[in-house]
């Protein structure tokens, strides 16, 4: 376990070095062949994303232990290694922390006010990242859609019981409760980033969920916006219903194609099939455009955001406020910005 964790750190280091080399090449005046440069970028991404998935398959090849951790009070199968997902969500993909902060409603970044132009630039970028629909023609397209699948996978592992070999949830409780103070900080940080990236994808690809908040925006107090019980009624689906339905739709599509035994994610048993994990995730990317009502994400945002507000970590509390703001925008909020984002008094 320790050795494989060190190996993962080495892979992340390689990823960051390749990203820096890519940025340097993109801005240098010495580039003579832009097409050749893009092809080189796709080569390293193709290799590294496969290595990450091979590492995950080897790391967690044994059965999930469906027991509770006595110290953290969580199921041992919950968020087993969140950094693996995070590396694929904002490490390998074209989406970065600046993008999700600005598009999520941050009024500024590193002491610089965010302008309408900044929002427009980021929105165009995010729209282009996921604009191809089901047409995944390059490695870069695949990596960007994999980031979305990893968002769902991480959130499934946090809130839902895993699937058995038949594609049905295992016996026992269908959902898992979670508390922000009952897990490592890195898991909660990964969950916050996954929720923000997932919202960016659904909002740019599918638009708003409803307009139910439009008439309440001028009268609803800030303390009420931070109260889960008062904002949950605005959502079309609650968080657990949404995640359960999305996972079930993936499973049903796999069943129709006769792939249920070989292509399941979030399962309890060791993967006995010879199908590589990389290929399984690519199949989920192919199915993603066929999943319905992905935009009904406000309930997920409200639960995750209000839970993370209880964190002692300032960065997570800021992400929590952005997540709530994103959920409100999905149900009709007109003011794009989260004005109290940097008011970080811990309650």
Taking only the tens place, the pLDDT of each residue in 8-41 is 999 999 999 988 887 776 655 444 454 555 566 6
Tell whether pTM > 0.85.
yes
| Structural domain includes residue 278 | yes
Cα 230 from Cα 220, distance rounded (Å): 10
The maximal CA–CA distance of the chain, rounded, in angstroms, is 61
- Structural domain of residue 184, as residue ranges? 69-331
Q: Is residue 86 part of a domain?
A: yes
For residues 156-168, give the mean pLDDT.
88
Pick from 178, 151, 133: which is nearest to 286 by CA?
133
pLDDT given for residue 110 in this prediction? 73
- Average pLDDT over all residues of the chain: 86
- What average pLDDT does this structure show over 318-333? 97
Distances (CA, A) of 111 to 106, 108, 196: 11, 6, 21
Tokens of 253: 């599509």
Q: Is the pLDDT of residue 130 over 60?
A: yes
Q: How far apart are CA 40 and CA 301, in angstroms?
A: 37
Kindly indicate the confidence band of residue 218, based on its pLDDT and cuts at 50, 70 and 90: confident
Inside any domain, residue 53: no
What count of other Cβ atoms lies within 10 Å of the Cβ of residue 128? 12
Q: Is residue 256 part of a domain?
A: yes
pLDDT on residue 37: 52
Which residues contact residue 325 at a Cβ distance below 8 angstroms, ignoring those fewer than 6 apart?
104, 105, 333, 337, 338, 341
The answer on pLDDT for 347 being more than 80 is no
Predicted confidence (pLDDT) at residue 165 exceeds the cutoff of 50: yes
User: For the chain, how many structural domains are there in total?
Assistant: 1
Structure tokens at 155: 């959130």
Residue 71 pLDDT > 70:
no
Contact predicate 177/304, CB 8 Å? no
Residue 192 lies in a domain: yes
Q: Give the C-alpha separation, 282 to 142, whole Å.
A: 7
Grade residue 134 by pLDDT with cuts at 50, 70 and 90: low
Position 327 in a domain? yes
Q: Does residue 340 lie within any of the structural domains?
A: no
pLDDT digits (tens, 9 = 90+) for 258-283: 998 889 998 876 656 678 999 999 99
Contact criterion met (CB below 8 Å) for 89 and 194? yes
- The Cα 304–Cα 307 span in angstroms is 5
The residue with greater pLDDT, 120 or 261, is: 120
Note the pLDDT tens digit of each residue in 301-311.
999 999 999 99
Kindly state whether residue 49 falls inside one of the protein's structural domains: no
């Amino acid at each position: 376990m320790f050795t494989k964790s060190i190996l993962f750190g080495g892979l992340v280091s390689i990823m960051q070095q390749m990203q820096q080399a890519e940025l340097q090449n993109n801005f240098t005046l010495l580039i003579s062949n832009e097409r050749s440069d893009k092809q080189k970028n796709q080569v390293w991404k193709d290799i590294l994303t496969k290595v990450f998935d091979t590492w995950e398959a080897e790391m967690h090849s044994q059965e999930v232990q469906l027991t509770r951790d006595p110290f953290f009070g969580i199921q041992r199968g919950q968020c087993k290694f969140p950094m693996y997902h995070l590396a694929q969500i904002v490490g390998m993909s074209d989406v970065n922390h600046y993008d999700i902060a600005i598009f999520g409603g941050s009024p500024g970044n590193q002491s610089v006010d965010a302008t309408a132009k900044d929002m427009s630039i980021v929105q165009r970028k995010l729209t282009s990242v996921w604009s191809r629909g089901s047409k995944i023609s390059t490695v870069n397209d695949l990596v960007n859609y994999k980031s979305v699948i990893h968002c769902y996978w991480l959130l499934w592992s946090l809130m839902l019981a895993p699937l058995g070999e038949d594609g049905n949830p295992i016996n026992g409780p269908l959902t898992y409760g979670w508390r922000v103070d009952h897990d490592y900080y890195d898991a909660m940080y990964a969950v916050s980033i996954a929720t923000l990236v997932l919202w960016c994808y659904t909002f740019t690809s599918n638009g708003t969920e409803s307009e139910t908040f439009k008439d309440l925006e001028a009268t609803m107090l800030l303390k009420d916006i931070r109260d889960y019980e008062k904002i949950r009624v605005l959502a079309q689906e609650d968080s657990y219903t949404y995640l359960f339905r999305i996972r079930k739709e993936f499973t049903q599509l796999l069943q129709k194609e006769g792939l249920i035994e070989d292509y399941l994610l979030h399962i309890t048993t060791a993967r006995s099939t010879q199908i590589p994990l990389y290929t399984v995730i690519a199949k989920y990317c192919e199915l993603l455009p066929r999943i319905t009502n992905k935009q009904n994400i406000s309930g997920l945002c409200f639960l995750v955001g209000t839970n993370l507000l209880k964190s002692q970590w300032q960065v997570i509390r800021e992400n929590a406020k952005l997540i709530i703001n994103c959920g409100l925008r999905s149900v009709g909020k007109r003011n794009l910005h989260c004005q109290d984002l940097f008011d970080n008094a811990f309650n």
